[in-house]
Amino acid sequence: MALLEVHQLSKSFNSTQAVKSISFSVDNGRCVTLLGPNGAGKTTTLRMLSGLLKPSQGSIHFTEMTKGEDLRRFIGYLPQYPMFYNWMSGQEYLVYVGQLALMHKRAANDRAIELLARVGLADAGRRRISGYSGGMRQRLGIAQAMMHNPKLVILDEPVSALDPIGRREVLDMMRDIKKETTILFSTHVLPDAEEISDDLLIMNEGQIVVAGSMKSVMDEYRQPIIRLRGETSLEVWQQSLSALEGIESVVCNGEYVELQVTDMTIGRSSLVKLLADQCIAIRKLEVAELSLEDIFMKAVNV
């Protein structure tokens, strides 16, 4: 069931049309990734959804929201570049955020303790934020987005600035949050999106160019490929490779070759025959499928 429905949403900044009449929905209990190149309009979209930016046109509707209700009650938001009061402790900061969301101090205090434990900051909760690592700050940022028990948590690039350890910590946390809250997050780290999301939205130049469940998108774009690496450059063989039965197209880059295959059984055997007949020295031959990164590149026409 849809938790959130967005209809023909647009945003212009003077002459820049950052978001161009996008429509999509977010289903309850799903983890949705928003992808797109720099400047695609992701942050602008997420800021409109979180109530921080007024749309130029269009509507944002929570199915459980009654008319005139403030949508911020339904949403927790972690900005792309979160700012903290460094002189506060993690615990003080969460209580402060809770009180801004009109929680009573006592309830905010209890919730802060619960969330600090949940995001692995129980021991650091009384320390000043100025001493926190990047990963700890990001986890505190996610905790603050969860303070008022929102229906939807929006995270704008929660892992992009982190090292692999910090990234892993945040991903594990998101996996935990996902059990009870709907998540919409943007990222440039495609393997993370592939690992954690149920649904996918890809934006390009202010428009949504791909939308669907991760599985349906992967199925739609799924095309078998063969990757070859020669001992030396294979560019002289480009034409012969392109002419093989079962092969649709060939991209050759020095010793690296990628063949898009229409029929794997036929394509693979005609390729192996060519390699053997012409004594082409091969270092590696791999059968693969388009990754999310390949799909992303196709969707945004890179």
Ligand X SMILES: Nc1ncnc2c1ncn2[C@@H]1O[C@H](COP(=O)(O)OP(=O)(O)OP(=O)(O)O)[C@@H](O)[C@H]1O
- Which residues contact ligand X by CB under 6 A? 13, 16, 18, 36, 38-44, 80
SS3 232: coil
**How far is it, in rounded angstroms, from Cα 10 to Cα 16?**
11
Nearest distance, CB of residue 152 and Mg ion, angstroms: 18
Question: Is 43 among the residues that bind Mg ion (CB under 5 A)?
Answer: yes
Residue 116 CA: distances (Å) to CA of 75, 141, 212: 19, 11, 34
Contacted by 204, from ligand X, Mg ion, none: CB < 5 to 8 Å by type:
none
Residue 75 CB neighbour total at 10 angstroms: 23
Contacted by 50, from ligand X, Mg ion, none: CB < 5 to 8 Å by type:
none
**Count of residues interacting with Mg ion (CB under 5 A):** 3
Residue 163 CB neighbour total at 10 angstroms: 11
Nearest distance, CB of residue 193 and ligand X, angstroms: 13
* Contact range with Mg ion by CB under 5 A, out of 38-46, 47-55, 196-204, 286-294: 38-46
Residue among 11 and 42 whose Cβ is closer to Mg ion: 42
Nearest distance, CB of residue 89 and ligand X, angstroms: 30
Residue among 52 and 251 whose Cβ is closer to ligand X: 52
Residue 128 CA: distances (Å) to CA of 88, 114, 137, 248: 5, 18, 11, 59
Question: Is 33 among the residues that bind Mg ion (CB under 5 A)?
Answer: no
Nearest distance, CB of residue 199 and Mg ion, angstroms: 19
First to last CA, the chain: 34
Nearest distance, CB of residue 44 and ligand X, angstroms: 3
Nearest distance, CB of residue 42 and Mg ion, angstroms: 5
> Which residue's Cβ has the minimum distance to Mg ion?
43
Enter the DSSP assignment of 68. Answer: T
Residue among 11 and 148 whose Cβ is closer to ligand X: 11
Residue among 43 and 187 whose Cβ is closer to Mg ion: 43
Nearest distance, CB of residue 152 and ligand X, angstroms: 18
Question: Is 187 among the residues that bind Mg ion (CB under 5 A)?
Answer: no
DSSP notation for 95-159: HHHHHHTT--HHHHHHHHHHHHHHTT-TTTTTSBGGG--HHHHHHHHHHHHHTT--SEEEEESSS
Contacted by 18, from ligand X, Mg ion, none: CB < 5 to 8 Å by type:
ligand X
- What residues from 54 to 113 belong to the interface with Mg ion (CB under 5 A)? 80
Nearest Cα to Cα of residue 166 among 174, 156, 154: 174
Residue among 17 and 99 whose Cβ is closer to ligand X: 17
Helix (H) / strand (E) element for 298: namely helix 292-299
Q: CB burial class (10 A; 0-12, 13-18, 19+) of residue 152?
A: buried
Contacted by 38, from ligand X, Mg ion, none: CB < 5 to 8 Å by type:
ligand X
Phi, psi of 212 (to 5 degrees): 160, 180
Contacted by 41, from Mg ion, ligand X, none: CB < 5 to 8 Å by type:
ligand X
Q: Which residues are near Mg ion by CB under 5 A?
A: 42-43, 80
